[in-house]
Amino acid sequence: MLQLVSFSMMSVVDTLFVGRLGEAALAAVGLGSMFVLTVSSFGQSVLSACRMLVGQAVGRRDQAEIDRLLGVFLRLGLGLGFVSFLVALGSAALLPWMAADPETGAQGARYAAIRGLGIPAILASAALGQWLTGQSWASAPMRAAIVANVVNVPLNAIFLFVFGLGTDGSALATAIAHGVELLVLLMAAKEALGASGGRRVGLWKGAWRASNAEAMALLRLGTPMGAERVLDMMAFAAVPLLLSYAGSAHVAAHQITLQVSLFAFLPLIALSDAASVLTAQAFGARSYSLIRRINQAGVWLAVGFAVLFSTTCVLLRLPIARAFTHEPTVVAATTPALIGTASIQMANAAYNILKGTLRGLGDFHFVAWCAVLCAWIVTPPLTYLWSVQGTMGASGAWAAIFVEVTIGLAIIALRTKKKLAELGDDESIAPLSLSETEAM
């Protein structure tokens, strides 16, 4: 949770600093950051899915396989990072034509292009972080994300207020911070290899020795989850583009609400990831009753956190809005949007945990289809109806997301109930072999 909240703080810091430059700059960061997150989300999700293999190897107590996977993960992360960087540059060039306001589109395009420089470091960090998290070394990625944030804050201040680089300076500061995060994770991965006796293989030698076929096998495994996340993010990215036709104030309000919502979304994703890792480890150890207890504990913990966040968001909505901007029109649009995001969090909490349980069991395709179809069929059309054609503005977008999450939760809950029932109650003392895991 701390790792992902710390990661989201980079965008929050960019928003807080750029908010002092005006409505157009704030809207530009909203558009540009959404494009960068959409492009990088594919690789991050692929590697997140592949983490299941590390968790199952832990359940089987197969240390040699764990060490081998590090090289394959790093090779895949570097390859995806280079390709994603090129896609980010191409996507940034489209922004001026997609935004309703030319100034917002031009600033957003420059922000996305400069911040895209950090994408290779983001995905190499994701490769190392997912490999570590699959073994329950979750504190290492957390420390790396915190160090990156400590670097990002002064760099933002220097580039914006000393050199006067505006949104470009904010994007450059964040890209540099991602590079620092990668350096910290490299040291953590070397420490993990030393603890397992695998130091003599080395990080880069392992990546060099890993074959393209092994990297492609991981890519095929993680593609359903990667496609799910990208298509989901594209549907989400359509929201600020649609809101730009309702006015830049609503785009800015949506950006503020989104940054606040990340303090709920990302911890819930972290709990979902934890449920996925523990489920994979229990599955590899053939401990099926433990999988059910993990699922129940995750749902209660996530819903409890969501209640706390939602209550805080509703009670402090006006001070939160004013912390980001003093523009009266933006504040007026932000406060009802904050109530909207608070209303979806309890359903979203259970939705994320159940998706994590299914991913830990390897049910990637169903989760992907459910999430993508709900996102595209519900959110953009309802946002257009309520926010562009109607008068709800930014709050209409969050009402559309509420409908999406509620429908998705109902479908995923039925699927989870069925999959848990299929596991049965019998447990074997011996953990699953690699061939048994692949067969199941």
In the predicted model, is pLDDT for residue 429 greater than 70? no
Q: How far apart are CA 296 and CA 275, in angstroms?
A: 10
Please tell me what DSSP assigns to residue 380: H
Which candidate, 266, 237, 268, 229, places its Cα nearest to that of 397? Answer: 237
Helix (H, G, I), strand (E, B) or coil at 219: helix
Which candidate, 8, 54, 62, 18, places its Cα nearest to that of 258? Answer: 8
| 4-33 pLDDT tens trace | 777 667 777 887 788 777 777 877 887 788
Q: Burial, 107: exposed, middle or buried (Cβ in 10 Å; 0-12, 13-18, 19+)?
A: buried
Report pLDDT for 270. Answer: 86
Q: How far apart are CA 246 and CA 420, in angstroms?
A: 45
For the residues of 42-86, what is the DSSP string, one character each? HHHHHHHHHHHHHHHHHHHT-HHHHHHHHHHHHHHHHHHHHHHHH
| Whole-Å CA distances, 275 to 161, 340, 432 | 43, 27, 19
Q: How far apart are CA 182 and CA 188, in angstroms?
A: 10
Q: Are 209 and 149 in contact (CB under 8 A)?
A: no
Which helix (H) or strand (E) covers residue 361, if one does? none
| 241-267 pLDDT tens trace | 777 777 777 777 877 888 788 788 888
What is the pLDDT averaged over residues 175-195?
A: 88
Of the ranges 192-201, 246-255, 256-265, 365-374, which one carries the lowest mean pLDDT score? Answer: 192-201
| Interhelix angle 212-243/394-423, nearest 10 degrees | 150
Pick the most confident of 24-33, 97-106, 359-368, 388-397.
359-368
Averaged pLDDT of the chain: 84
Computed over its alpha carbons, how large is the radius of gyration of the chain?
21
Report pLDDT for 81. Answer: 94
| 118-146 pLDDT tens trace | 999 999 999 999 999 888 787 888 889 88
- pTM confidence score: 0.71
| Interhelix angle 2-18/248-284, nearest 10 degrees | 170
Q: How far apart are CA 434 and CA 132, in angstroms?
A: 20
In the predicted model, is pLDDT for residue 200 greater than 60? no
Q: How far apart are CA 437 and CA 60, in angstroms?
A: 10
Residues, the chain: 440
Q: How far apart are CA 353 and CA 271, in angstroms?
A: 7
Token code pair at residue 230:
């990208």
For residue 199, what pLDDT band results from cuts at 50, 70 and 90? very low
Residue whose pair of structure tokens reads 């207890």 in the numeric block? 293
Q: What proportion of the chain, given as a percentage, has pLDDT over 70?
A: 90
What is the pLDDT averaged over residues 76-91?
A: 90
Report pLDDT for 139. Answer: 85
Region label for 427, one of left (φ > 0), alpha (ψ between -120 and 50) or beta (otherwise): beta
* C-beta neighbour count of 130 within 10 angstroms: 26
